[in-house]
Chains A and B, each alone.
Chain A
Amino acid sequence: MNIASPPQGLTAKDYASDQEVRWCPGCGDYAILKAVQKTLAELRAVPEQTVFVSGIGCAARFPYYLATYGFHTIHGRAPAIATGIKLAKPELDVWVVSGDGDALSIGGNHLLHLLRRNIDLQFLLFNNEIYGLTKGQYSPTSRAGTRSPSTPLGSLDAPLSAALLALGAGGRFVARGVDTAQKLLPEILKRAHAHRGTSFVEILQNCIVYNDNVFGHITDREVAADAQIHLQHGEPLVFGKDRHKGLRLKPGSLRLEAVTLGENGVSAADLLVHDETSRPLAGLLAAMEPPALPVALGVLYCEPAPSYDQQVHDQMRSAQPNGRNRDLNGLLRRGHTWTVGG
């Protein structure tokens, strides 16, 4: 183990590398980078113990802009490389940065198994519902009908819900944020960092060039309050400009419905209370979409379980009750041997 003492007085700027940031002006990635640098400062992250790993895509440039260790790898494989890093050196603080194409298309298999194994790292999925780096083709999260250079008459295949996939794959921490929500995002990232196991954070991110305003119906100032619900564990599921709306189970079914307090006899006691340890509830919240229901932001699900990397090393230690066996000669002489005289 090689744990240095946390640095004193590092600010968000101290976590920025000397490299010029090269995303398109106005890209949502700038806001996320700012939120991550702020989070690292607030966490007093030790730069040499921190590793950012990415695959390919606009988001994958992220590690270059942080003054930590960074590995910009190949398309879709960041979860696998991060798994290797974490298995080798579990004490490292590993963050994976990915996009909807990288994580859910070419790298879908690795994300599935990362979540299933519950490797102890933070996984940030920048979801802009489009392929940016390859110039605007539709992605696995693009809504059906998306017109793009490869789908001039509109895309046909149904989009994937990143949060539902994470829950289905056995993820133990699933959260959702928005690039420009600069108060909310660092709070989510700190929760993700505190969680032991894979912390999956979907960040709705605007691609100003190829998919501008795709989340406008959720994030625009005039609709945001009614189109978003900010989850707090143990608090009633309330939203709306005047916090007069809420979520309850539709009577007689396992569906959520949005209700207005004071209408049709609905009172605060009828509303669901957020329980972030409930996977079924997390599934219902993850699936919510406007206009019928608000988009759930914050921590949808958090129910820790042992991480694979921790268990691997526990198993290794239990196999070495007397310390590491270095007796190679003994190893080569295990089993049947014989001597030829001379």
Chain B
Amino acid sequence: MDGSAAPKDAGQARRRVESAVVRFAGDSGDGMQITGGQFTLATALAGNDLATFPDFPAEIRAPAGTTFGVSAFQINFGAREVKTSGDELDVLVAMNPAALKVNLDDINPGGLIVVDTGSFNDKNLRKAGYESNPLGGKDLAAFRVLPIDMSRLTLEAVKDLGLSKKDALRCKNMWALGLIFWMFGRDREVAINWLSAKFAKRPEVAQANVAALNAGHAFGETAELPDDVSSYLVPPADIAPGLYRNVSGTEAMAWGLVAGAQFAGLDLNFCSYPITPASQVLHILSGLKDFGVLTFQAEDEIAAICAAIGASYAGNMGVTSSSGPGIALKTEALGLAITAELPLVVINSQRAGPSTGMPTKTEQSDLYQAVFGRNGDSPIVVLAARSPSDCFEVAIESVRLATKYMTPVMVLSDGYIANASEPWIIPDVDFLPRFPAPFRTDPKNFTPFQRDPATLARPWAVPGTPGLEHRIGGLEKADGSGHVSYDPANHQQMTDLRTKKIAGIAGDLPEQTIELGEAGGRLVVVGWGSTYGPISRAVGNLLAQGYQVAHVHLRHISPLPANLEKLLGGFEQILVPEMNNGQLLTILRNNFLLPAKGLNKVTGKPFMIAEIERAIRDQLESGQ
């Protein structure tokens, strides 16, 4: 089939574009995640920078053809550094009417819609809630539409391979992938190898998928496409040399925990209860028993954190993981780890709340919960990851701080970071610092609450150590001896010590730096967590246009970096974009009495770059 006709674009140059945003959307059963994953690999190999985001339905097996059963995968790739998965779509591949309907609002005016007309039958239109066929209608007038009967063309491409019609039609995602491969000049080899390996036990299925992929590609090369549909060239990005892989936030978090525990010389005990979108960390770690990772699926969220506390009490690195509602359940036990002063890492993959909220949608609204959400004066360390790959470093840092200061550390991730992926220059861990956990073994003059004068940490004295037998618990303890104490002055002293210990960690943190822009300008945008990408791009764009703006992004939220007050105080205005109603904003104002302003969004979707740009411009123009 290849070479049967001269490629249409053989003589004409591909249209050169700096970046493109493509979303593959179809029914849950249409294989859109696999399609997107394969396009991502091919795109990385072509040298583009990229960022991806999958959008799964909340329903496990939603009825086929319905809008709530639509599964999508988005990729933004470009010749320059890519910082988000993209504001608006340049290309939507819609495998059925429902996929068209739910994604229509996200397409750039003038964007390209590739649809499988074979699925636009009465039944599917009705399921999607269309009263009439939208193809050719006014709803699509603003876009370029490429209607192709992919279903029929797929059946034709695989007809000689003896598959049932159902199995044959399941290859149509590869047909679509082939066409998009052609459109962006992607190499098919890796996808073909992947298909051959995946279906090694069913070679006819492998052949059919490859045939569909090739057919879609050939269609692009040979078919008489409308004049406004062409092929594109996205030149390679200027990417730092090195060995890369694609990594999701979940993977980076899991691997960072393994690395952190190894650097501390500890066995990792990961105790969790399944909850969206945090469960994947448990899945990954449960497959790493060869690394000595012990995972425990507890009976509930409370048992999960309690088992992690038990593990830390016994001298291992106890870690638990959840999302907002589950973190709420862990709250009382977190207080125990605070007062018993035991190391503990709590991962919170935030989702839209309150209560059950929108489990599959992202939000950053657990910052108050992380910093304040406990009874008593009960400070802990709070860290936030900014991107999928950043989870690796943040997870390591959480183990370092938890063990050095004998404290719980909460790591904030979110549904976006957990599921999104990006290329990652793989670190050589041999060059990362080690921080062996300091166990107490010397019984001489031992008491469980004597403190290291520098860190204020108490000794980690674990069962099995002769001569260190002691009793501790959730009741207030006498400073030093650890005996139960109701003495008023002692409670004041212990409360002050717990507060000072956490506050003092600020001296152990790197100075807060400015990501983009210069100190002392007109406006600084302060962010935390997954808003990193859109803030960074927005500030970068405005800097290029001559605006005096800067971007500061926080990893350490409790305690805040020691130089942050001075740094922020040097700007005329402070803007804090958050996917909540102003939580970091409260903390910054409270700590520094600075007149910061919020930009707040809680739609379950990440910020768009344009939204942040607009807010920055508005604030600069309003001048206050």
Contacts and interface: CB of A to CB of B under 8 A. Distances in A.
Interface in A66-98: 66-74, 77, 79-89, 91-92
Given A88-B311, A89-B314, A89-B315, A337 B244 contact: yes
Nearest to A72: B473
Nearest to A18: B483
A4 B315 CA distance: 17
Interface stretch (A139-147, A253-261, A316-324): A316-324
Interface in A93-141: 109-110, 112-113
A73 B289 contact: no
Nearest to B314: A88
Given A319-B289, A340-B239, A82 B45 contact: no
Nearest to A81: B310
Interface stretch (B172-180, B359-367, B463-471): B463-471
A312 interface: yes
Contact of A316 (B245, B294, B475): B294
Contact of B288 (A82, A315, A331): A331
B253 to A, nearest CB: 13
A28 interface: no
Nearest to B310: A84
Interface in B219-266: 239-246, 255, 258-259, 262
B289 A85 contact: no
B426 A333 contact: yes
B470 A332 contact: no
Contact of A320 (B242, B289, B428): B289
Give the size category of A's interface with B: 35 or more
Contacts of A56: 474
Nearest to A3: B464
B441 to A, nearest CB: 11
B484 interface: yes
B50 interface: no
Q: Is the contact region of chain A dominated by helix, strand, or loop, or is it mixed?
A: mixed
B244 A339 contact: yes
A47 B310 contact: no
A70 B466 contact: no
Contact of B242 (A80, A81, A342): A342
A320 B290 contact: yes
A89 B244 CA distance: 38
A264 interface: no
Give the size category of B's interface with A: 35 or more
A324 B291 contact: yes
A48 interface: yes
Contacts of B298: 80, 83, 113
A73 B336 contact: yes
B306 A84 contact: yes
B306 A80 contact: yes
B310 A88 contact: yes
A6 B245 CA distance: 53
Interface in A285-342: 312, 315-316, 319-320, 324-326, 328-329, 331-333, 335-342
B472 interface: yes
A316 B314 contact: no
B549 to A, nearest CB: 30
A66 B311 CA distance: 21
A83 B304 CA distance: 10
Count chain A CB atoms within 10 A of each CB in B255, B310, B333, B472 and give the residue with the most.
B310
A173 interface: no
A52 to B, nearest CB: 8
Contact of A72 (B269, B271, B475): B475
A64 B465 contact: no
A19 interface: yes
A33 interface: no
Nearest to B474: A74
A340 B292 CA distance: 33
A329 to B, nearest CB: 6
Interface string A38-55: 000000000111110110
A335 B333 contact: no
A315 B41 contact: no
B330 to A, nearest CB: 11
Given A113-B303, A325-B291, A71 B313 contact: yes
B433 to A, nearest CB: 14
B7 interface: no
Contacts of A91: 464
Given A342-B240, A342-B242, A84 B44 contact: no
Closest 9 CB pairs of A and B: A342-B241, A84-B310, A72-B473, A84-B307, A80-B306, A319-B289, A70-B471, A80-B303, A88-B314
27 contacts: A19-B471, A47-B469, A63-B473, A69-B463, A69-B471, A73-B336, A73-B474, A74-B306, A74-B336, A80-B303, A81-B306, A82-B310, A83-B303, A84-B269, A84-B318, A86-B310, A88-B310, A88-B311, A109-B303, A324-B290, A328-B262, A329-B428, A329-B429, A332-B245, A336-B41, A339-B242, A340-B47
Given A51-B314, A56-B474, A73-B473, 16 more contacts: A19-B471, A48-B465, A50-B463, A64-B471, A68-B469, A70-B472, A74-B335, A81-B307, A81-B310, A83-B310, A325-B291, A326-B262, A329-B426, A331-B291, A337-B244, A341-B241
Interface of B: 41, 44-45, 47, 190, 239-246, 255, 258-259, 262, 267, 269, 271, 288-292, 294, 296, 298-300, 302-304, 306-316, 318, 332-333, 335-336, 340, 426-430, 462-475, 483-484
